[in-house]
Amino acid sequence: MSNQVAAVGLSQQSSVPYSAAVDELLKGFSSNPWFLNEYWPLNRERVGMIVSDIEKNCPKGASVFEVGCGTGYIAFLLGRMGYRVTGTDAWHPPEAAQFFEQAGVEFAASNLNHLDPFPGWNTQFDAIVLGEVIEHILNSPLQLVKRLASLLKPGGTMVVTTPNSCTAANALRMVLGTYSLWGTEDFCREPKIADGKIISNGEIHYREYSPAELRKMISAAGLIPEPSRFLPCGVYQSQPLIKRAMKRILGPLLHTRLLGAGQYVVAHKGSS
């Protein structure tokens, strides 16, 4: 790999099961009530699915690339479970550096809106995680997925998650005239280009995709997608009581296209 990737820490301890890695993660976020009480409950099922599919397709010790890693919690979990993990993002908060040092994760800064965010890279990975990222890409989403596909080993696996725009709730919002993408006000206010370069702004959903559009993009990048899956946002205590009750009542229906808030696709690169 090129020298753009710097090892943040190599003091990796012996690997642990997923449940133990989660315990370590939540302990690390003990001073962040928002993460513990809202963000983690909201995303727990999605993260569990990602880890499960990485385990299903890749043995421990395999190389994993998390694209748009943010605070680094997924990279941390996989690193503590014994995978060789590299994370990348334009943003690298202090807590990510601490987690990466603990789990032996490498980090590379990148702007995913550049046409080639990884210039000179030739290392290939067994698996790539692109979680809640593609909706934030303004410049060329397909070009990004193609570049990531080029970084996958033959037979490698990519996991892609993104909001599901084709839901009954979104249809109702459209009828009522209230639907808009997350970050629309920022989209209106903020410039998209500065000094001739595309700005990376993780607070804006530039585009949300239908399941058919997402699968077509993945296929156009040369990967073979499995059938789409759908999942709800989790339940957390600050949600209105009626919303929490409805999620529990609807249960399995929230894993369908009409009611699932998120879509989830596992794709594979051909072995030849």
pLDDT at 6: 42
Strands (E), 100-258: 106-109, 125-131, 152-163, 193-194, 197-198, 223-225, 229-231
Burial of 10 (0-12, 13-18, 19+ CB in 10 A): exposed
Q: Which of 237, 58, 230 is nearest to 153 (CA)?
A: 58
For 53, the enclosing helix (H) or strand (E) is helix 40-57
* Model confidence band, residue 118 (pLDDT cutoffs 50, 70, 90): very high
Number of domains in the chain: 1
Domain containing residue 192: 6-269
| Distance, CA of 73 to CA of 29 (rounded, Å) | 10
Task: Compute CA 221 distance to the chain's CA centroid, rounded to the nearest angstrom.
Answer: 18
Please report whether residue 192 resides in a domain.
yes
More confident residue, 218 or 98: 218
- Indicate if the pLDDT at residue 179 is higher than 70: yes
| Distance, CA of 160 to CA of 144 (rounded, Å) | 12
Please report whether residue 147 resides in a domain.
yes
pLDDT tens for 139-177 read 999 999 999 999 999 999 999 999 999 999 999 999 999
Name the token pair of 103.
């789990």
- With 0.85 as the threshold, say if the pTM is over it: yes
Please report whether residue 1 resides in a domain.
no
- Identify the CATH number of the domain in which residue 170 sits: 3.40.50.150
Q: Torsion over CA of 55, 27, 11 and 95, rounded to 10 degrees?
A: 100
